[in-house]
Amino acid sequence: MIAQTLAALRRINHALAVATGVVLLVTAGFVILDITLRQFALSFGGSDEISGYVMAGLASWGLSYALTELAHVRIDLIRLQLRQGGRALMDLFAMTVMAGTVTLIAMKSWPVLEKTLTRGSRANTPLETPLWIPQAVWFSGWVWFAVSSCILVLLAAILLFRRDFAGVDRMIGTVSEADLEAGK
């Protein structure tokens, strides 16, 4: 069950990463076309505003992919000095702290969106973008990141309880080939 859940989470995050990549490419094309049109005294207008919204949304959504691909920055000064069980425990601690932090961010993001929905706020720009649209994308990305990290905490805790330290390392650690060969 753990392997299937992790595989499904990775597949979902990979699909989301591909989708966000497509959105980024389309946005870059839009900005390039707008800049080119400016050379002929034409413009779509608002490309800077739209690209800012896209970047905020993509950042929140991309974090989950980085999480499942073990691409987040780590400082392993102490961790690497420990045996495999200690590393697994440190990894679970780090993942738990991350899940808690991200969950708190998601919870604190909701009032921002809620206030925008209540007030019907619009951007103070020529586009007058309804701000709930980019904020909903941004908020949902944080929620998905929180859900993904909480799932990983739960799965890693189960593996740690089973004393499958190598499994924890593969799931949320930074296992190296040398560690795998040495059976650490």
Which has the closest alpha carbon to 54: 135, 174, 166? 135
pTM for the full model?
0.86
Residues in the chain, how many? 184
State residue 1's pLDDT score.
Answer: 87
Q: Is 63 helix (H, G, I), strand (E, B) or coil?
A: helix
- 183 contacts 105 by C-beta, under 8 angstroms: no
Q: Say if residues 163 and 83 touch (Cβ distance below 8 Å).
A: no
Report the interhelical angle of 132-161 vs 2-38 (nearest 10°): 150
Q: Partners of 130 in the beta sheet?
A: 122
Please say whether the beta carbons of 68 and 9 come within 8 A: yes
Under 8 Å between Cβ of 123 and 42: no
Model pLDDT, residue 175: 54
Instruction: Report pLDDT digits (tens) over 60-78.
Output: 999 999 999 888 777 777 8
Tokens of 55: 């970047």
Q: How far apart are CA 38 and CA 43, in angstroms?
A: 5
Tokens describing residue 174: 């930074």
CA distance 163 to 146: 25
> In this prediction, what percent of the chain has a pLDDT beyond 70?
94
